[in-house]
Structure 1
Amino acid sequence: MAYEKNRIITIANQKGGVGKTTTAINLATALAAIGERVLIVDLDPQGNASTGLGIERKNRKLSSYDLLIGTHTVDETAVETAVPNLSIIPSTLDLLGLEMEISQKTDRAFRLKNALASPEALGYSYVLVDCPPSFNLLTMNAMAAAHSILVPLQCEFFALEGLSQLLETISQVRRSLNPTLDIQGIVLTMFDSRNNLAQQVVSDVRTHLGEKVYHTLIPRNVRVSEAPSYGKPAILYDLKCAGSQAYLQLASEVIQRERQRKAA
């Protein structure tokens, strides 16, 4: 069976504040650190992934908006970061107007997929797409382009309720846009071992979704929260902190799952 040259993983959850961008930045950095060539596509108009990797707004001459509009290519929009092997297509507020501009186009949900089919995009081992915290045309593009979805899930009371909505959305995308879309895995974030509720959420999610849930738990960690304000991934800001170590462990799990998938 032939496999794609790159692996496109969309990081999505319709709920905000669950660690999507933090996961995108630090997972990408960890993958790059072990020699993988990685591209982040920032599809959130807020542009937090771009800021968190030190790409200042004034330096975002081209962005994911230009890629989706079709005026520029992956090579033209991608910017190298301070992390070797890691590039990002940054986001700007222009993305807010994208839906209105392309809503009547027949390929409106496949703009990202078409852009990432280019030879230069195939040169990356992994493409991670950071989504906005809502289901809109940007998220549809991300899911239509992806081979799989990675879902960050906060260890809190309403986690399972939000997850069931997201799983239904993924089912809809499979039916209408991307029949081979798979769930890469669920990563539990902001875990506090002293909190009984967090322990219960972990237990419930593992009971419901079994092997789809990564073994790695991403802890609630001050150093991880501080890192974006310095324009650095936590792994560069403080490699030894518990959060950075957890993301390195998560990267190891992601690669292990990819090996198993290819061997299947």
Structure 2
Amino acid sequence: MARVVTVANQKGGVGKTTTSVNMAAALAHQGAKVLVIDLDPQGNASTALGAEHTSGTVSSYEVLIGQTEPTDAMQASSQHDGLFCIPATIDLAGAEIELVSMVRREYRLHDALRRGFLEEQGFDFVFIDCPPSLGLITINAMTAVDEVLIPIQCEYYALEGVGQLLGNISMIREHLNHNLHISGVLLTMYDARTRLASDVADEVRNQFGEVVLKNVIPRSVKVSEAPGFGQTVIEYDPTSRGAMAYFDAAKEFSERGDYQPHETTGPIGVSPEVYAQLEGEN
């Protein structure tokens, strides 16, 4: 079965899109078949993957409102054989309003993906890049998946908004999708020269425990430059520090598997060892 992951953080500028496309590209280079679904009207993930996303292109908008099947909206990435994208166009900006009156408005993406599409296509991973707000589009992203990957930047106010995100995930988990949980936290924009980055990393690890990936993503000019060339950093400069860090993080995320939460940890996943330990204590 495909691991279907929403990359989410209500705070802007933390590396959501960068993480979505580079984790996907790294996994594709490691032999996986990977799909990125762009649900952000800005279409930055589509740009980074070299996907066509001008207005009128068949996109995630048509998938959400039921005008087309995911297969018809999917584009193969020119960057790697195993990498695919369902792009976002500016049409998606109006989808919030249109979805309000629709049947199963919170489950439109779930229904489109889970009624045969994922099984037919044989994806190993699906990454959903969503906008930095909790509207119906983001809720659709959360009900379509089991796993949430949260990028957190190693800067001031890093955990600002994360408490609210945890609350929203808990609420969706309780009312709309009982399987939803945080299976990974990725530290981004890490500057090893500063004490601040180290302090923030420690704070995040204290709050989230072992669900935080051991590999961190350093500040990297190459990571920032790559989208301007319509590429991921994996394609743009595969030997750069940023690309190597995403390779390592993707490999770790893949090899360690899905960290499931224990009933005592809310929506936050734990390692199998910690899970067994908590079960023993209970």
Class of the TM-score when normalised by the shorter of the 2 chains: over 0.9
8 Å CA contact 1:74–1:121 kept in 2: the answer is: no
Unpaired segments of 5 or more residues in structure 2?
Answer: 261-270, 273-282
The alpha carbon displacement at 1:214 in A equals 0.5
Separation of aligned partners in 2, 1:197 and 1:175: 35
Separation of aligned partners in 1, 2:90 and 2:35: 20
Aligned to 1:147: 146
Amino acid aligned to 1:147: D
The alpha carbon displacement at 1:66 in A equals 0.5
> What is the aligned-residue RMSD (CA, Å)?
1.6
The alpha carbon displacement at 1:59 in A equals 8.5
Separation of aligned partners in 2, 1:35 and 1:48: 24
Larger % of strand: which? 1
Matched, 1:201 2:197: no
Aligned to 1:25: 21
8 Å CA contact 1:60–1:90 kept in 2: the answer is: no
Equivalent residue pairs, number:
259
Aligned to 2:83: 86
Aligned to 2:102: 105
8 Å CA contact 2:54–2:89 kept in 1: the answer is: no
Separation of aligned partners in 1, 2:8 and 2:195: 26
8 Å CA contact 2:99–2:136 kept in 1: the answer is: no
Aligned to 2:221: 222
The alpha carbon displacement at 1:42 in A equals 0.2
The alpha carbon displacement at 1:259 in A equals 7.1
Separation of aligned partners in 2, 1:144 and 1:162: 20
Separation of aligned partners in 2, 1:19 and 1:87: 20
8 Å CA contact 2:57–2:89 kept in 1: the answer is: no
Matched, 1:64 2:56: no
Give the % identical residues: 46
Aligned to 2:72: 76
Amino acid aligned to 1:22: T
Q: What is the TM-score of this pair, normalised by structure 1?
A: 0.94
The alpha carbon displacement at 1:60 in A equals 6.3
Unpaired segments of 5 or more residues in structure 1?
Answer: none
The alpha carbon displacement at 1:260 in A equals 7.4
Amino acid aligned to 1:99: E
Separation of aligned partners in 2, 1:85 and 1:243: 21
8 Å CA contact 1:186–1:214 kept in 2: the answer is: yes
Separation of aligned partners in 1, 2:156 and 2:33: 37
Q: Which moved more, 1:248-257 or 1:8-17?
A: 248-257
Amino acid aligned to 2:182: I
Matched, 1:41 2:37: yes
Aligned to 1:252: 251
Amino acid aligned to 1:13: N
Larger % of helix: which? 1
Separation of aligned partners in 1, 2:28 and 2:48: 16
